């Protein structure tokens, strides 16, 4: 083989290698990031109580906070486990139903298990599927258990009482980074009891609480939270069954 022929082969080999590297870099740039299955988050905001002592939402607002774990089955469906706490306040009444000049205060410690539904296909930007969006409104509902102080008046604390409730609400998710996002949620806890105030004069067991036809206490939380995703979703093998 002549020297000229060898030089031509070397030239063609270099060109082919450069083209291969360019294609590889291009393919790497268009690579779709693998979605994450799990999520941890923290949230903080304000909370309130609606019942015999406080008839409307966002009256006597106090602090609310929590942490959560979320597992995403699909881009639409997820489950969430959350630990949260809040302080609720209302006016104190005597046994005859007369309002006194002081307030009662109660702290609640809550554990929730909830199912979520996203209105949009939620995930990182994907140029091959325009239906996937980095933001979505969502709704949720589940079951919860709460521990709360029987009553706190003049810094006097009584033993904790347990009660079940139904957590439900809606919110908004925004994914501003591949693994980091923002959540806004407005949650309502419908208690299976009417004694969260810890005052006998407010435990209206035989009459309706105004508009509250279920005759039970309700707490609410409006929170903003930061979330971090982890654990990559396993890729499905499309050829395994063939």
Which residues have CB under 8 Å from 69's CB, separation 6+? 38, 39, 40, 80, 81, 82
Residue 189 CA, distance from chain mean position: 14
pLDDT score for 161: 84
CA 23 to chain centre: 41
Which of 121, 33, 115 has the alpha carbon at shortest distance from 71? 115
- Return d(Cα 242, Cα 231) in angstroms, integer: 28
- Is the domain spanning 36-232 CATH 3.40.190.10? The answer is no
Domain boundaries of the chain, sorted by first residue: 1-31, 36-232
Secondary structure class of 97 (helix, strand, coil): coil
Structure letter (DSSP) for residue 33: P
Q: What is the pLDDT along the chain (242 residues), one digit of tens a residue?
A: 555 665 565 555 555 554 554 444 444 444 456 778 899 999 999 999 988 778 888 988 999 999 999 999 999 999 999 999 999 888 877 666 677 777 888 889 999 999 999 999 998 777 667 788 899 999 999 999 999 875 544 455 567 788 999 999 999 999 988 889 999 999 999 998 877 776 656 665 545 444 454 568 899 999 999 999 988 877 665 555 44
Predicted model pTM:
0.75
DSSP 240: T
């Amino acid at each position: 083989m002549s020297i000229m022929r060898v030089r031509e082969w070397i030239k063609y080999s270099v060109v082919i290698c450069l083209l291969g590297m360019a294609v590889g870099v291009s393919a790497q740039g268009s690579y779709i990031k693998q979605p994450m299955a799990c999520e941890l988050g923290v949230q903080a905001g304000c909370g309130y109580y609606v019942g015999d002592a406080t008839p409307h939402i966002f009256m006597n607002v106090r602090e609310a906070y929590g942490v959560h774990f979320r597992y995403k089955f699909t881009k639409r469906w997820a489950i969430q486990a959350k630990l949260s706490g809040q302080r609720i306040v209302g006016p104190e009444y005597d046994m005859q139903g007369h309002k006194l000049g002081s307030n009662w205060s109660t702290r609640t410690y809550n554990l929730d298990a909830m199912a979520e539904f996203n209105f949009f296909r939620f995930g990182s930007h994907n140029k091959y599927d325009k239906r996937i969006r980095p933001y979505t409104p969502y709704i949720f509902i589940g079951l919860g258990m709460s521990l709360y102080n029987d009553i706190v008046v003049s810094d006097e604390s009584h033993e904790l009482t347990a009660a079940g409730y139904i957590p439900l609400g809606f919110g908004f998710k925004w994914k501003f980074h591949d693994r980091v996002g923002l959540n806004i949620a407005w949650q309502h806890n419908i208690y299976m009891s009417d004694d969260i105030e810890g005052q006998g004069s407010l435990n209206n067991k035989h009459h309706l609480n105004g508009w509250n036809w279920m005759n039970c206490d309700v707490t609410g939380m409006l929170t903003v939270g930061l979330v971090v995703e982890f654990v990559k979703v396993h890729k499905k093998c499309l050829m395994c069954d063939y």
